[in-house]
Chains A and B, each alone.
Chain A
Amino acid sequence: MDLQIALLLGQDGITNGAIYALLSLALVLVFTVTRVIFIPQGEFVAFGALTLASLQTGVLPGTLWLLIGLGAVAGLIDTVFALRDRQLQRIPRILGINLALPLALAGLLANIPLSSLGLPIQVLLTLAVVVPLGPLIYRLVFQPIAEASVLVLLIVAVSVHVTLTGLGLFFFGAEGSRTPSFTDASFEIGDAMIQGQTLLVVAASLTLIVALYLFFERTLWGKALRATAMNRTGARLMGISATMAGKLSFSVAALIGAFSGILISPITTIYYDSGFLIGLKGFVGAIVGGLGSYPLAAAGAVMVGLLESYSSFWASAFKEVIVFTLIIPVLVWRSLTTRHTEEEE
């Protein structure tokens, strides 16, 4: 292995690591706020990539029907609750958000020439379709069992993952898709060629991480999420709704997932079930951070990316073995060095 190969491998590892880092942040966020280990995180990656790909071929994506379906069910349930509580004034808002908005989006998508739109608009439309799935899933699946134990939440998360994967196969078929690159530019630095797309992924990931930092530090909503993560009961006493915090954290997780999918889809072919493995590697990163620390999770995820890249060079047949075996020494180290401070349940 000479320097050039080492640089190329490093570049590849950091590109993948950046995606894993984004996902690990989403996992940490969702876990700290709602105690859900969000296995379906990867599905948002696949949905983001495949929705963009079908928009680019001018086909209405199947995720749109999922959005309308989930919206209708959520709208119906909330309307029934509002009627029961005799809060009729809430109904227009409920129906507006859960029914009218998705249908308006569907009407918009059906009436514009999808494939000839500019890439930024296609990306925005993709996010508009995929991101609302996050809070809707929270509303329908996790909100009714928000007080359940971590184990129950984990089991439910697994079942959501299996359901979404099945729906992905139904919507997008068994074959994958690859979207055209955002940029074909490449730069020569020393001996190594740097692809423009790689820089874009890293830059976009960094931007998103900085944006998340500002969101948590500077905005009221971000602070509310942090408060809920630190102490759910305390936050509720201060008037922060746990439901709002849950929906918000799922929205952010869905946004990160879909955005990662859009970033990665020009680099590799994404299949309906590709997301799981990508999400799992983000999870390994999050574990390095003990599912609690954002910087450690991000660093862990980048390390997973680098490890994966170098091990694919040295022993490609054992790459996944090496990456996932990493979790064992990390867990041993964490259990030896940290005090057990799990919240009372």
Chain B
Amino acid sequence: MSSPSFASTRLAVLSLALVSLSAFADINVGVSVSATGPAASLGIPEKNTIALLPKTIGGQKVNYIVLDDATDTTSAVKNMRKLVAEDKVDVVIGSTTAPNSLAMTDIAAESETPLISLAGSAIIVEPVDAKRHWVFKTAQNDAHMATAIVEHMLNNKVQTVAFIGFADAYGEGWFKEFAKIAEARKIRIVASERFQRNDTSVTGQALKIIAAKPDAVLIGAAGTPAVLPQKTLKEKGFKGFVYQTHGVANSEFLRIGGKDVEGALLPVGPLVVAAQLPDSAPSKKVALDFITRYETAYGKGTVSAFGGHAWDAGLLLGAAIPQALKKAQPGTREFRSALRDALEGVKNLPAAHGVFNLNAQDHQGFDQRARVMARIEGGTWKLVK
């Protein structure tokens, strides 16, 4: 073999490799979260977390295109269309709230783009039908959280419960979920009351609850408005257990609630009480790692449960993208489809909020390791052992 031909073969091989490398485009991840508007206190930590996600996955550069939907369903749809049509993203993370995520589902299915929602409602991924085929979600389902509450009630011999919740989808959803599980476990619901987010008084509801003499009260409300029922119940002399939902797990609730919410019990993702978890808990290491990164970037005490959902979405991608890269190139329909299949195949992945075990029927993938009970003591969350 003469040397010139050898050199030209080498050149040819090299240039071929170069061609295939340059054709291997960057991975584009679209993000639409509610960084302003009513859900801003959830959306801002999510947006902050996106900036901490890995810039390369499986040796491939990853670009994040972050948009804000202002907690508005129409904007969420607009963002989703822009991401798939103009930016040609391979996967979308978002949105913060259930209505926005549901609205984005249609476009995800139509454009065959995997969507990873950060919202709580189980309806986003259940049941897995033709549309939800493309949709995944990282936040715990309400049912995960409701079972934790019922379990704690059973362990503490609670037989009668009163419910007071928002007169909207959040309150109704919780009541239905909770009533189903409670009745199966022979816990009697003796009163079911509603209030508005903006109400200045819930005295009437509180008195009716107290007159029904329940062992415990569950407050089905999110954010700081959930303070009012607990405060009123305490004022009117209620001495039983008070349960809140994980919708109150942020520092604003503690700030507004102060002394009035001491002793409240609530189910939370492991991230919220990560430092207090036993070392055997699968989420502890991941959660602490996330908290350290987040607080290094944004200051001490700034981390919240919601950032964890975005971090977990990043972990899912970190596990699924290398699998998909083996089958197709980013930017193609085949890659999106391979990525979807890879997401569905994620097994035993420890995340900040639990352990992912996804399959064709379950696009959420958490089990009972995804929640623990916490009690508010001395103005912070304490793990209930």
Contacts and interface: CB of A to CB of B under 8 A. Distances in A.
A177 B256 contact: yes
B9 interface: no
Interface in A236-261: none
Interface bin, chain A: 35 or more
B201 A16 contact: yes
A273 B198 CA distance: 8
B204 interface: yes
Interface bin, chain B: 20 to 34
A177 to B, nearest CB: 7
Contacts, number: 87
A277 B196 CA distance: 11
A85 interface: no
Contacts of A316: 164, 167, 193-195, 202, 204-205, 208
Contacts of A88: none
A1 B207 CA distance: 9
DSSP majority for the A interface?
helix
B153 interface: no
Contacts of B37: 174
A309 B208 CA distance: 12
Contact of B207 (A5, A174, A269, A277): A5
Contacts of A8: 203, 207, 236
B306 to A, nearest CB: 14
B196 A269 contact: no
A308 B235 CA distance: 19
Contacts of B235: 195
A311 B207 CA distance: 12
Contacts of A182: none
B227 interface: yes
Contact of A175 (B198, B199, B224): B224
Interface in B26-45: 37-38, 40-41
Interface string A305-324: 00011111110110110000
B198 A271 contact: yes
A9 B252 contact: no
B201 A269 contact: no
A118 B185 CA distance: 53
B225 interface: yes
Contacts of B256: 175-178, 269
A122 interface: no
Interface in B196-238: 196, 198-205, 207-208, 211, 223-225, 227-228, 235-236
A43 interface: no
Contacts of B196: 277, 319-320
A313 to B, nearest CB: 4
Nearest to B252: A175
B228 A268 contact: yes
B200 A267 contact: yes
B225 A269 contact: yes
Nearest to B207: A5
Contacts of A1: 211
Contact of A174 (B40, B164, B200, B204): B40
A5 B211 contact: yes
Contacts of A264: 200
Contacts of A278: 200
A148 B164 CA distance: 47
A317 B195 CA distance: 7
Shortest beta-carbon contacts, A-B, top 5: A312-B204, A313-B204, A12-B203, A317-B194, A268-B200
23 contacts: A8-B207, A12-B201, A19-B200, A174-B38, A174-B40, A175-B41, A176-B225, A177-B256, A268-B199, A268-B200, A269-B225, A269-B228, A271-B198, A271-B224, A277-B198, A278-B200, A311-B204, A312-B201, A313-B207, A316-B194, A316-B202, A316-B208, A319-B204
Interface of A: 1, 5, 8-9, 12, 15-16, 19, 173-178, 195, 264, 267-269, 271, 273-274, 277-278, 308-314, 316-317, 319-320
